[in-house]
Structure 1
Amino acid sequence: MSRKLMSLVALIVIVYLVLCAALFVFQRSLIYFPQPGTLNAADTLVKMPDADIHVSTREHSGPKALIYFGGNAEDVSRNLPGFAEAFPDYALYLMNYRGFGGSGGSPSEEAIAEDALALFDQVYASHPQITVIGRSLGSGVAVRLASQRPATQLILVTPFNSLVEIATRQYPWVPVQWLLKDRFESGKYAAHISVPTLLLAASDDQVVPRASTQRLLGHFPKGVATIRVVPDSGHNSISERREYLQWMGDVLNR
């Protein structure tokens, strides 16, 4: 091998390693895209040792509550009007991740998981029947929470089996399995779920492959989870379809 070729190969390797290092250092900025809360809604505060977590809330007396975890770039407060109309018998708690909607701190999988547990415990004190809903990234938060707390029902919207699978698809040239910190391994937690679970998939999801959702479904104990595919919908447009709230309502309003 000539010296010039060796120098070129060395340069390519150095550039590749630098790119991998940059992705490792800045990876959370590629996962989480904090949004300000735009809807003027009542707030519930969850006080964590290192941050105050804001939860967009619609109070309602009675035993039933809904806790919602949104996507990685979602203003969850925008769901309040639709949820309030579709689920009138439920108190609504839509958690703003750290850095989102006025919440303090910076998002990470472990921090969000701890915040979710604290929110559940706070809501459970007055609402013993809690349905947990998670969309996209939030499906990873929701399934982990439901494996650790006595949720009544679980609904996962455009869910994936693990974030490693999705990141590998987006960055096939990067050793994602070695670099990724926040892995959201939903399949691992699904195996411990025993409450009725609905998976809502988009017919034309451009972000989460159907195969990943099917793998997640396969990790649930037999008879626990079912999947329904919302027609003519994509990853971001699924909530615009009539079936989105209707099929959730089939579960919540029984």
Structure 2
Amino acid sequence: MFNLFLALLIIFALFCLVARLLHRYFIYVPDRTRIDPREAGLTGVEEIVFKAHDGKRLVAWCRPAEKGKRTLLYFPGNSGNVAARAGKIKAIAADGYGVFIVNYRGYGGSGSRPTEKRLVKDAVSAFDTLRGLGVPPRDVIVYGESLGTGVAAQVCLQREAEALVLESPFTSVVDVGKRGWPLLPLKQIMVDQYRTIDCICSVTVPVFIVHGGRDSVIPLDMARRVFHEANEPKTMTVVPRAG
């Protein structure tokens, strides 16, 4: 009986070890295809290539804001590339706002491989690149979508912006993962955890949260917990029928 228990323990330990080595393949689902904004049906949007802190090449799309409008420094979700957000870019641009949307490492022509530490440092480099294009901090809205909310919140701890927008935020990637793998010690397995619940209380700019009432991936309760921990001024909107 003891030998069986020991064998099961070893198998479980090996499974956890493999999970630690491979967990980023589940977090990041990139489309590596580099697409020109015009191929995605966008006008007035140009590709910007800038260097990360370690010299790696990163690809972003930029659409200047109209006079009197702010610019969204946009960090997307974990899948696809920025071309998959072409419809959202059109909607934002239609209201005159500017967009600077970043292809993470390994996405859309950007080099290297993604990790949480790298992506947050890259996001700060993107902020500085946008500043270099002449956009002052008072005109920058840091905008995160899903995985990007974990990036955006950390950027606001390192750079001064006008506000933070979180679309479908989670408390942490660990909490999301536990919904599918409740028995695994994910907090010990996962290196990249994006613990927004721990950092949002240190964000001092106004926060706006939007979440779908029928989101089956990131529960609405997670967004509410992030909202509860955020400082004032803050606003949260729930779209009841949205996923």
Give the TM interval when normalised to the shorter protein. Answer: 0.7 to 0.9
Tell me the equivalent position of 1:240.
none
Out of 212, 226, 230, the position equivalent to 2:239 is 230
Other-structure match for 1:45: 49
Partner residue of 1:8 out of 4, 7, 30: 4
81-90 or 25-34, which deviates more = 81-90
Percent identity over paired residues:
28
Gaps of 5+ in 2: 38-45
Contact 2:58 2:104 in 1 (8 A): yes
Deviations 1:74-128 (A, max 9, x none): 3222323443343343321111110000000100000000000011011123111
RMSD: 1.8
Instruction: Give SS of 2:214's match.
Output: coil
1:72-221 aligned at under 5 Å gives the runs: 72-87=78-93, 88-125=95-132, 126-128=134-136, 129-221=139-231
Unaligned runs of at least 5 residues, structure 1: 235-254
1:30 to 4, 26, 33: 26
Within the alignment, does 1:66 sit opposite 2:72 as a pair? Answer: yes
Amino acid at match of 1:75: N
Q: d(CA) in 1 for partners of 2:19 and 2:55? A: 26
Confirm or deny: 8 A CA contact 1:108 1:182 kept in the other structure.
Answer: yes
**2:27 counterpart letter in structure 1:** I
Alpha-carbon distance in 2 for matches of 1:195, 1:34: 30
TM-score (norm 2): 0.87
Please report how far the alpha carbon of residue 61 of structure 1 lies from its aligned counterpart in structure 2 after TM superposition: 6.0
> Residue 84 of structure 1 contacts residue 92 of structure 1 at CA under 8 Å; is this kept in 2?
no
AA aligned opposite 2:122 = D
Match of 1:247 in 2: none
In 2, Cα distance between equivalents of 1:150 and 1:6: 58
* TM-score normalised to structure 1 length: 0.83
| Alignment match, 1:248 | none
Summarize the Cα distance change of 1:203–1:40 in structure 2 as closer, same or farther, 3 Å threshold: same
Paired AA for residue 96 in structure 2: D
Q: Distance in 2 between matches of 1:19 and 1:202?
A: 34
CA contact 1:58–1:80 (8 Å) conserved in 2:
no
Aligned equivalent of 2:41: none
Task: Name the amino acid aligned to 1:108.
Answer: T
Conserved 8 A contact 1:77-1:94: no
Paired positions, count: 229
Contact 1:141 1:184 in 2 (8 A): yes
Superimposed CA distance per residue, residues 5-59 of structure 1 (whole angstroms, 9 cap, x where no aligned partner): 3332222212111110100111111111111346521311121224101102223
Deviations 1:197-220 (A, max 9, x none): 111111111111222212111211
Q: State the secondary structure of the residue aligned to 1:191.
A: helix
Per-residue deviation, 1:164: 1.9
SS in 2 for 1:92: strand
**Secondary structure, counterpart of 1:25 in structure 2:** helix
Contact kept in structure 2, 1:39 and 1:78, CA below 8 Å? no
Within the candidate set 45, 61, 81, 1:56 is matched to 61
User: Is the contact made by 2:66 and 2:98 (CA closer than 8 Å) also made in structure 1?
Assistant: yes
1:211 and 1:82 mapped to 2: Cα distance? Answer: 25
Once the two structures are superposed, residues 156-175 of structure 1 have per-residue CA deviations (whole angstroms, 9 ceiling, x without a partner) of 11101122211222221111
